[in-house]
Structure 1
């Protein structure tokens, strides 16, 4: 029996999946961002189904979320190389090194059934033919030029997914090959909460996530607001966020993880999602909805695929409309919001879809052999 056909016939208990994570931050709580959270949750759920997971990730990643952790190598250059005026930034060299190393490592392995790639780099896609196992690449961001160009050369042993229909359309040269799979949230981790009388905002404190818009809306409405997330841009935070944090009307709760984050959502009256860019998906919105907490969001990127006005939240076109929209979520049915999220945004639905994709890819490859 061929490799591909044997994979198509396996169930989840027999699958051996290599997951390639983004290289910049560890896959560990508290998560630096949505991609790290996604990869962690995917690995955990695949393992719960009985699959064997090999995770390629940055140093400091959680070893308990996989069966085998392969850590990207550290960057080491001579003083002469660093002094070269054409030397790229360290993070650029680190990402090149990480994915070149990962693909060379995978080339030597015969125990992997499928590679699930979540990197933002073109090397895994470009070098996929070196690896025995077929590859699924999930697109988490708008197109990067090198990755988009390389993806157009991918053969039938590679398939692509996107986290939203909006994002798939942005990858216009590849959209005919993309299947949309919304990110999923674990309903056991993000439980239905009782609500509360404060507003919530969650995310990286950066200009593109724009917590200052949530602060402005809360102040205009005279409502208390709690912020949570890592301070990823200290200058922005110092100028536009922390001057308004007084511990009373505006409170900063820090960088939360696990039960603390779920409780943060669950004890809030609504979550404000205020991106100043076209958010590819909106994991914060999905997590909030899983806790039964409605979402007040700017109608940008993939958020309209999650937020249904009058059902689980409100969408507005401009930041100036956020304050008035807050009142519109009063009285929305929290248990109903939670129930719908379990049906549409559960990690189990997401993993079911990916397992089917793994087998479908194997069947297609088998027919081509």
Structure 2
């Protein structure tokens, strides 16, 4: 099988060292495809040149191909069986035209809760859309989505054996949607230290919750990538997950990253059917479901209780389950099976 994994214009590298959800997913698919025995071409100029000679890079994007050009003929001659691409592209006319000329299957994962696809983007057979949670399946029901847990990998993020860490950790972009102030308050209620890892996307949000986010028990780490990011997750006793009431998580990378590292999760959600419920089981984490009309203090108390329960889980077992559920090879085989 020949698989083309397509990049796209963006601010993160391909593959990224730290953040970048779709970029990390595409790299995980490439790694999983090769491990499954497929031949893989990294399509697009964004893939790092230093990946060669271990990987085949072809710096061309389908949406830029001119009909009848040499580039189009070379793509057709390659004989791709499957293209894997970011979720916007099966609705992009220029990309769809070139893909139609190639006559291959397409697989993508829905990483946005609000992107509107064209009516003909997916048929559930040759062109397939995958979604993480029941909530996302429902949102994209008209496109015949297939349930699947996304796997995300960054560059040089090999995970060593699990260890029982000490402090709590929260990781993600720091803004209103991700709501780390709830994690900081839950940690405070327990008398626990928490490390906040990630880039600040909203200074206004930080200012509005400055008191709790700058309390003595909170350590600001900043943005991490590669081995440092992996270590921050692995060395925690519990990974604390939060998001805002109105926010819909399309496919958070942190679930797979945390349990693959052997760190149990305590997740706060506002409804059933979210990514947390899809990703976690009773042996890998604890999910607190709080009514959205509840205030922040009530939510933080429920999250604190979830943290206490998650802290009793076995890290080695969490990692064993995590590596199995969020295995790149298994994930690719699911995307390729139709």
Query: CA 1:222–1:135 in 2, change beyond 3 Å: closer, same or farther?
Result: same
Q: CA deviation at 1:295?
A: 0.5
User: Given the superposition, is the C-alpha separation of residues 117 and 233 from structure 1 closer, same or farther in structure 2, using an over 3 Å criterion?
Assistant: same
1:24 and 2:10 equivalent? yes
**CA distance in 2 between partners of 1:295 and 1:103 (Å):** 48
Q: Tell me the equivalent position of 1:194.
A: 163
Q: For 1:114 and 1:130, how far apart are their aligned partners in 2?
A: 13
Match among 340, 343, 351 for residue 332 of structure 2 = 351
1:54-203 to structure 2, matched below 5 A, reads 54-57=41-44, 59=46, 61=48, 63-64=50-51, 66-70=55-59, 100-101=63-64, 107-108=72-73, 109-110=75-76, 111=78, 112-121=80-89, 122-123=91-92, 126-127=96-97, 128-145=99-116, 147-151=117-121, 154=123, 157-175=126-144, 178-184=145-151, 189-203=158-172
Distance 1:287 1:243 in 2: 26
Asked if the contact 1:53–1:67 (Cα under 8 Å) also holds between the matched residues in 2, the reply is: yes
Contact preservation (8 Å) 2:27, 2:152: no
Query: Aligned partners of 1:27 and 1:237: how far apart in 2?
Result: 30
Question: What corresponds to 2:224 in structure 1?
Answer: 256
Give unpaired runs (5+ residues) of structure 1. Answer: 1-14, 73-98, 361-369
Q: TM-score, normalised by structure 1?
A: 0.74
- Counterparts of 2:288 and 2:192 in 1: how far apart (Å)? 18
For residues 36 and 240 of structure 1, the distance between their equivalents in structure 2, rounded to whole angstroms, comes to 30
Conservation of the 8 A alpha-carbon contact between 1:28 and 1:62: no
Looking at structure 2, the residues matched to 135 and 32 of structure 1 have their Cα atoms a distance apart, in angstroms, of 25
Aligned to 2:285: 313
Please state which structure has a larger fraction of its residues in helix.
Answer: 1
1:37 aligns with 2:24: yes
Q: CA RMSD in A?
A: 3.0
Displacement after TM superposition at 1:198 (Å): 0.6
Q: TM-score, normalised by structure 2?
A: 0.80
1:259-270, aligned counterparts within 5 Å? Answer: 259-270=227-238
Aligned length: 311
Aligned residue among 289, 298, 301 for 2:259 = 289
Residue 38 of structure 2, aligned match among 51, 60, 70: 51
